[in-house]
Amino acid sequence: MDLAVPGVLREAAAEAPGGAGVYLFLGASGEVLYVGKAGNLRQRLAQHAAAKGPRVGLAKRYDLVRRVVWEVAASEEAAAWRESELIFALRPPYNANTGVRGVAAVGQDARIPYVVVREGAAGVLRFGLETAVPSDGRAYGCFPHLGKGVASSLGIACSDGYTALLRLLWASGGVGQLMPGAITRSAPEQFSVVIDEGIRPALHGFLSGARGKLVDELLLGASGRPAFMMPALRRDREAALRFFAGGPKLVRERRLRHGVRGRVLEVETYRRLVCEEIAPVIRG
């Protein structure tokens, strides 16, 4: 059965800018029904407005949309990352509840991990992904897009980049000839590695979002590894920097922007701050 497209979608398509950004469908009470992203907001909203034929998912509830608002982004990737943040914080009812392979979808993560670093014997640091701030060790985060099964582009950047960071730490430490299997796959929940005492301040700066230069120091420290490893380790440097941008740096910038003290953001505080950021756009 064909359903009429509300005029609000056609009006939004006519008014939206042609650049990248995120858009939000709002209901009668101003509630957020859906968050989407686009490389070209005008074109994407025009696709919604031109929808014809039998509908599934969100399209079946276009009749609920009373207003469309948007936020411009610097690039399509920035829009995708912002979409993940907004879905996580706002939990709109018409975004998908499940993602690829039956795991958590964009922003609807099953776990909200913190990176926890604990001291071990003989220069060993033990890294863990944990769902709450522990009483021991040093915690960083929260990083809601880090962990197994997160399907968004921000989730992939964080999870792949965190694993790349662990590979760089292992390679720089110089212990062992064969890379451990735990860091050849998705982000491990636990991993131990020997690192030089002098690297530890830079590691703290990296995980707290203050300084990303750690990866250059690690790559230099890994220069004694066999030549065949170096191209992959250079790629790991770039991946680790993406984790830095989408995880630690993002947390630190949000904390400083909102005047929140402390290195760690609680989950609900993180959600609240993202909601505060988008509130002026929703209010119009």
Q: In this structure, are 118 and 201 located in the same domain? A: yes
Which parts of 91-209 fold into alpha helices (H)? 153-173, 200-207
Q: In this structure, are 120 and 258 located in the same domain? A: yes
Q: Is residue 109 part of a domain?
A: no
pTM: 0.90
pLDDT of 1 higher than 50: no
Give the span between the Cα atoms of 195 and 207, in whole angstroms: 15
Q: Is residue 104 part of a domain?
A: no
**DSSP secondary structure string, 163-186?**
HHHHHHHHHHHT--SS--GGGSSS
63-78 pLDDT tens trace: 899 999 999 999 999 9
Give the amino acid at 203: L
Question: Is residue 132 classed as helix, strand or coil in its secondary structure?
Answer: coil
Domain residues for the domain of 57 are 7-95
Total domain count, the chain: 2
Tell me whether residue 282 is exposed, middle or buried, using C-beta atoms within 10 angstroms of its C-beta: 0 to 12, 13 to 18, 19 or more: middle
Give the span between the Cα atoms of 142 and 126, in whole angstroms: 18
Q: In this structure, are 73 and 126 located in the same domain? A: no
pLDDT of 267 higher than 70: yes
pLDDT of 112 reads 78
Q: In this structure, are 139 and 62 located in the same domain? A: no
Q: In this structure, are 12 and 67 located in the same domain? A: yes
Q: In this structure, are 76 and 206 located in the same domain? A: no
Q: Is residue 277 part of a domain?
A: no
Q: Dihedral of CA 31/36/41/42: which sign?
A: negative
Question: CATH no. for residue 44?
Answer: 3.40.1440.10
- Give the helix, strand, coil percentages of the chain, each rounded to 5: 45, 15, 35
Across the beta sheet with 124-130, what order do the strands follow?
A: 138-140, 114-119, 124-130, 190-194
Q: Is residue 275 part of a domain?
A: no
Q: In this structure, are 263 and 151 located in the same domain? A: yes
Question: What average pLDDT does this structure show over 132-143?
Answer: 94
Consecutive H or E run containing 69:
strand 67-72
Which range among 27-41, 50-64, 150-164, 195-209 shows the weakest confidence by mean pLDDT? 50-64
From 62, 95, 128, give the residue that closes a domain.
95
Where does residue 209 fall: left (phi above 0), alpha (psi -120 to 50 degrees), or beta otherwise?
left
Q: In this structure, are 54 and 179 located in the same domain? A: no
Q: In this structure, are 82 and 150 located in the same domain? A: no
Task: Judge contact between 218 and 168, C-beta under 8 A.
Answer: yes
Q: Is residue 105 part of a domain?
A: no
Q: In this structure, are 91 and 118 located in the same domain? A: no
Residue whose structure tokens are 């300084």 = 211
pLDDT of 61 reads 81
Give the span between the Cα atoms of 100 and 247, in whole angstroms: 22
166-187 pLDDT tens trace: 999 999 987 888 899 999 988 9
Q: Band of the pLDDT at 9, cuts 50, 70, 90?
A: very high
